[in-house]
Structure 1
Amino acid sequence: MTVLISKARRRARRWLDIAVLLRHVPPGTRALAMLLNVLLGLLPLTFVVAMSVMLERVPDAVGDGRAGAWAALVTVLGIAGAAFGAQQALAPFQAALGEAVVRHVDQRCRGELMRAALADAPAMALDDPHLLDRLDVAREAFDRASASPGDAAAGGLALIARYTQLAGAVALVGYAVDPAAAVVIGVTALVIRFGQRGSLGAFGDFYDGLAADKRKATYLKNLATGTHAAKEIRLLGLVEWMRARHRADTTAYLSRMWRGRRRILGRPFVVLALVGLAGGAVTVTRLALAGDGGGLSLLRLSIALQAVLILMRFGVYFPEADVQTQYGLIALDAMKAFRAGARDLPALAPSRSVPATGLPRTAIRFENVRFGYTPDGPAVIDGLDLELPAGTSTAVVGLNGAGKTTLVKLLTRLYDPTGGRITVDGHPLTDIDAREWHRRFAVIFQDYVRYELSAADNIALGAPHLPADDDRLLDAARRAGAEDVIDRLPQGLRTVLSRQYHQGRDLSGGQWQRIGLARALHAVHSGASVMVLDEPTAQLDVRAEVAFFDRFLDLTRGLTTLIISHRFSSVRRADQIVVLDGGRVAERGTHDELLAAGGRYAELFRLQAERFTDGTDQQPDHHDQLVTTTMTDTAS
């Protein structure tokens, strides 16, 4: 009994989910779709009754021969034809209105998913494998690789036609045979229907558990058919390896799915077939007994036979509704699970009333800050004390794993410290609204996004909340040294920066660096007051990196800037240099002061400089000799 109650509650919750989804559909569209599906349920019944009446009247019309009898017969035939024709004519509109429902619902749900993943969920939600599985299931639905929540809503509406037809057919059996036969065949149809949907639901839950295996197989498919790794796959001759690996991963995934399908759907199918056989036999027996007594007219016999066939077919698969509602609700459940899981993670502290406008005016301070990505994991930042004076440049250097990038995440308030505090002009950072604080930043990350959009869009995204005209974008490009890059593009700022589009162009690494810097400078011109560079030049050689940082420091003089780098020579002109080690400050000072101190910074600087003076290395070209001379002269 408990299991049945649980299943009933689950089924009721799913209908409630569909009803909630339908609230996102305009009332006129929703009402029209419901009315249309009621009509599509009634029209087949009208056809059944009309054809049964016609069959009853044919012998009288033939035997009587009167014009009135034939006219009545033609009228009934016309009604049957009109019902059939109307059903065929309205069926495409069911699909059209269903598509309208899908678009309205998915537009709303897609927006909710974007907001949940990119705004509401804490940043650590995107590092959780289970939540990423839920996110991937939901995203796959909106990529049309599986049924979406909009499909579930449209499929729910389509079921109105089926259940209208069911109710009408039960009523016809009750009229043509007797109420007991109507109850038996109606219950049989519902048992088969609910059993079939229950099996489909159980398989849907099992299928949902294969998300991780499916994601692995899908990754290889997308990697092998996309352009991201095409050059490496071609040069390394990985085609056969990827084909074999994809076949193995896909076969493993499909084999699990097929075994589960046979186990979950096989036995219930046999049981439900026996239920249908028993219910149909009882109904047909009662129909035969009614006819044996001579009390069953041709009209009632015809109606009963056709209505029973309608009900016996009710337990089968409905192509317009079943997959849509089952797997569309799985996508909806994945969205809910992602949001619920994200809410369970430690959230940013609630903000108070300190406005972010104009900050920082004096300094940003880290006071004994501690942070770890998991409660039981190691501390990445451990007892950090650091001051970033407003209007000055600070370079943070250190070996990999020292906590440099985590420092940026805490500064930009993607995460809150688990210990200590960060203050801005004396105000706790947690008192400042996170989204307002984000607008104070212009950030260029090491893996900054190269958007397959126009050059104008790539620059304007530095301040997407403000309108940007071409003059402001070109000014940002000029200051970043990207003006010549824009001039060489066939459509200037309107050129899409990707070869995947007509007249699109791709850029070199150095050119993309300039576009990224232009994006950051546009953010500064639009009101950002803190600029952060998190190793954006990691893919450049030393000469290009030195030139980039020199230009950057000249352009941002007077701004509060933070530079993260693992190359010590690139940041020697910063106002202060901080060496991180083990998540805390090991050394601090100017370039000259740190070299004179002879500590960790001086040691690592000389080790990097030796790369250019070691005779075993390849002979550097003229430009690298200039960089080497600069490094070794400074080091001495």
Structure 2
Amino acid sequence: ILWAARLLPARCLANTNLLHHGPPALGAAALLLNVLLGLLPLVFVVGMSVLLHRVPQSVGSGGPAAWAGLLSVLCVAGVAFGLQQALAPFQAAVGELVVRHVDQRCRGELMRAALVEAPARSLDDQGLLDRLDVARDAFDRASASPGDAAAGVLALIARYTQLAGAVVLVGYALSPVAAVVIGVTSLVIRFGQRGSLGAFGDFYDSITAEKRKATYLKNLATGPQAAKEIRLLGLIDWMRDRHRRETMAYLSRMWEGRRRLLGKPFLVLAMVGLVGAGVVVAHLAVTGARGGLTLLQLGIALQAVLILMRFGVYFPECDVQTQYGLIALDSMRAFRDGAKELPRIAPGKGRSAEGLPRKSIRFENVGFRYEPGGPAVLDGLDLELPAGKCTAVVGLNGAGKTTLVKLLTRLYDPTEGRITVDGDDLLDIEDRDWHRRCAVIFQDFVRYELSAADNIALGAPHREATDEELLAAARRAGAEGVLDGLPDGLRTVLSRQYRGGRDLSGGQWQRIGLARALHAVHSGSSMLVLDEPTAQLDVRAEAEFFDTFLDLTRDLTTMIISHRFSSVRRADQIVVLEHGRVAERGTHDELVAAGGRYAELFRLQAERFNDEPDPTREPSAPKTDVTV
């Protein structure tokens, strides 16, 4: 297959390694099938030309032998035609198998690149996200995929087999010079047409950002995500107008590029085809008029020239597939290679995280910047998280609380300073092993459209969980009532987009998320990090949760980020972050007594829950938007 593929255009040559992704037997079958589909039309052409040549002789002689020979030629031509028609559907079927094998391999490579190999900061890079979006569109079948490109390369074998055979037939029936002229003309038109298509493909790839805007608005206006707001706020006219503007901006650029890159080359290539074909057809006519051709030669030459004239046109079974499938492949590789150039977390030195932390986790003069030369999110941070204790982190928005979680869980490494676990550098611990020791629920945790059981069990995907363990995690998180209200309990899919599925409220989802984290703890995680764990629970439910939370997490190293002081006042220590540093630390009573930043924020929030404010109190300062 690879040897045959080397006859194809240069853009395909760099990607013939795609053919290695399928089983060898499938590749061999695809090669044989496409070679046959290239040769059978030529057999039919020769057979019909021989038939045309022998008919006058058979009519003249009338002998049985002549008619038997004529019948045998007719049978050969008929079998070639019938076999071609019978095999043609298998070309699509075998091509689909190639597509599935190649896409399965490429999809796995993309998942590994995005979720394992690429550093977390790659998902914050807009250029890399554009490349990732193009690749994802291909695998969602919104455009041609790398598998389509591989199948298209195989389909080209039939076309080039037919080209080579037709050139040989023209050389035999007419002349070698005519064969060279019509062959070169066909290749010039073909490569010119593919070159124009390639240039347009690169241009089309450059307007990905405009396409993303139009696609986003289309999906937003036609999906359930924003349907309630669009209806209630009367946004349909605005949405329609905005979608039209963004779509026309995208289409106008695409149309301009199409005219520029495809229009003029088409006219030039059409003139080349007209001249080349005209010369050969004129030569055929002159030679035939002079009696220099037999009826057999005339039939073969005329049909072979027509095959070659059609070679320079668009091939529906492979052109778009190879062009845009290779764009998807290039985008996937660009994301993978671009992510490799970004700073990565240091590879662990193999130390096990089993039983850690036993004493404490310390941030020692830690600094962090998301971009070199960018603002310091953390600047000289010194913080100790005692093992087996609960630490609450509070601070204004932008103080660095979420970044603190990212560093603690080793999604990022500090740009300055270091983090130690029981006195040893965190960089010495195997990162995957450390991740398993961390049970984390982010504020924007993922709501998987899977069963309730799967949503909880994903807290520890490395082990098989029993229903009893999952129900126990749900009880500890206060989610037992949520499961009782589902028609199939743990087996209910948590989405109305599936038959028998159910949607959950924000508070119910948060309890499922907490159950996921607590199941991770039960399965061996020794550190629990909760980012806004009760943000979508009402005040009573929040109080009930934290009444039992400390009992559930006794002897567990816990860090809580919350905007409600009722969530943090019972913590063993409370840390106030400000400007990327620790401004205050202590227990709730100690910090209130100190009268510092924590006391001020506590007073501001307490006033919001005071139904009967004291009229003698001086008006407070404007309430500050805080996240605690």
Specify the TM-score bucket, using the shorter chain as the normaliser. over 0.9
Tell me the distance in 2 between the aligned counterparts of 1:40 and 1:273: 27
- 506-515 vs 112-121, which moves further: 506-515
The percentage of aligned residue pairs carrying the same residue is 78
Partner of 2:311: 314
Residue 65 of structure 1: how far off its partner (Å): 1.2
Q: Secondary structure at the match of 1:558?
A: coil
Pair 1:15 & 2:13 matched:
yes
Q: 1:58 aligns with which of 43, 55, 59?
A: 55
Counterpart contact for 1:397–1:565, Cα < 8 Å: yes
Query: CA separation in 2, counterparts of 1:370 and 1:11?
Result: 52
SS of equivalent to 1:398: strand
Conservation of the 8 A alpha-carbon contact between 1:440 and 1:530: yes
Aligned length: 609
Task: Give, as a single letter, the amino acid of the residue that structure 2 aligns with 1:507.
Answer: L
In structure 1, the gaps of 5 or more residues are 1-7, 618-636
Displacement of 1:536 in angstroms is 3.0
Aligned equivalents of 1:514, 1:252: Cα separation in 2: 44
Instruction: Say whether residues 1:121 and 2:111 are aligned partners.
Output: no
Which residues of 2 match residues 124-273 of structure 1 at below 5 A? 124-273=121-270
Q: Please say if 1:517 is aligned against 2:514.
A: yes
Deviates more, 1:312-321 or 1:499-508: 499-508
Q: Deviations over 1:28-81 (max 9, x none)?
A: 001000100000000000000000000000111111111211111111111111
**Equivalence for 1:435:** 432
The aligned runs of 1:406-555 (5 Å cut-off) are: 406-555=403-552
Tell whether the 8 Å contact from 2:576 to 2:582 is kept in structure 1 after alignment. Answer: yes
In structure 2, the residue matched to 1:608 is 605
Alpha-carbon distance in structure 2 between the residues aligned to 1:544 and 1:444: 18
Q: CA deviation at 1:158?
A: 0.2
- 1:621 matched to which residue of 2? none
| Alpha-carbon offset, residue 339 of structure 1 | 0.8
**CA–CA distance in structure 2, aligned partners of residues 546 and 219 of structure 1:** 40
* SS of equivalent residue, structure 2 residue 14: helix
Whole-Å separation in 2 of the counterparts to 1:507 and 1:273:
62
One-letter code aligned to 2:27: R
Specify the alignment match of 2:595 in structure 1. 598
- The superposition leaves residues 423-469 of structure 1 with CA deviations (integer Å, 9 ceiling, x where unpaired) of 11112111112211111111111111111110000000001111112
Deviation at 1:122, TM superposition (A): 0.7
C-alpha distance after superposition, 1:462-498 (max 9, x if no partner): 0111111211111111222212221221111100011
Matched with 1:73 is 70
- List structure 1 segments (4+ residues) > 6 angstroms apart after TM superposition: none
Q: 2:25 aligns with which of 28, 34, 55?
A: 28
Structure 1 residue 10: deviation in Å? 12
Please point out which of 43, 46, 49 is paired with 1:49: 46
Displacement of 1:368 in angstroms is 0.2
Q: Write the deviation string for residues 571-591 of structure 1: whole angstroms up to 9, x where unpaired.
A: 111111000001110001011
TM-score, scaled relative to structure 1: 0.94
More divergent stretch after superposition (571-580 vs 501-510): 501-510
Equivalents in 2 of 1:548, 1:12: separation in Å?
64
Partner deviation per Cα, 1:181-202 (whole Å, 9 max, x = no partner): 1111111100000000000000
C-alpha RMSD of the superposition: 1.5
Shift of 1:117: 0.9
- Find the aligned partners of 2:54 and 2:323 in 1 and give their Cα distance: 45
In the alignment, the residues of structure 2 paired with residue 105 and residue 92 of structure 1 have an alpha-carbon distance, to the nearest angstrom, of 20
Given the alignment, which residue of 362, 376, 380 partners 1:383? 380
Change (3 A) 1:35 1:230: same
Residue segments in structure 2 that go unaligned for 5+ positions in a row: 1-5, 615-628
CA distance in 2, matches of 1:511, 1:562: 22
Instruction: Quote the offset at 1:509 in angstroms.
Output: 2.0
Distance 1:307 1:262 in 2: 33
8 A contact 2:364–2:381 mirrored in 1: yes
Letter paired with 1:16: A
Greater Cα shift, 197-206 or 68-77: 68-77
Please tell me whether residue 96 in structure 1 is matched to residue 93 in structure 2: yes
Counterpart residue number, 2:277: 280
Q: Distance in 2 between matches of 1:101 and 1:550?
A: 58
Q: State the Cα distance separating 1:119 from its structure 2 match.
A: 1.2
Once the two structures are TM-superposed, the CA of residue 274 in structure 1 deviates from its matched residue by 0.7
Q: TM-score, normalised by structure 2?
A: 0.95
CA drift of 1:216 comes to 0.6
Q: Deviations over 1:295-340 (max 9, x none)?
A: 2100001100000000000000000000000000000000011111
Judged with a 3 Å threshold, the aligned counterparts in structure 2 of structure 1 residues 616 and 75 are, in CA distance, closer, same or farther, namely: farther
Q: Is the 8 A contact 1:448 1:536 kept in 2?
A: no
Which string of whole-angstrom CA distances, capped at 9 and with x for unpartnered residues, describes residues 218-260 of structure 1?
A: 0111111111111111111111211111111111101110111
Instruction: Write the mapping of 1:288-307 to structure 2, written as runs, cut at 5 A.
Output: 288-307=285-304
Letter in 2 for 1:182: A
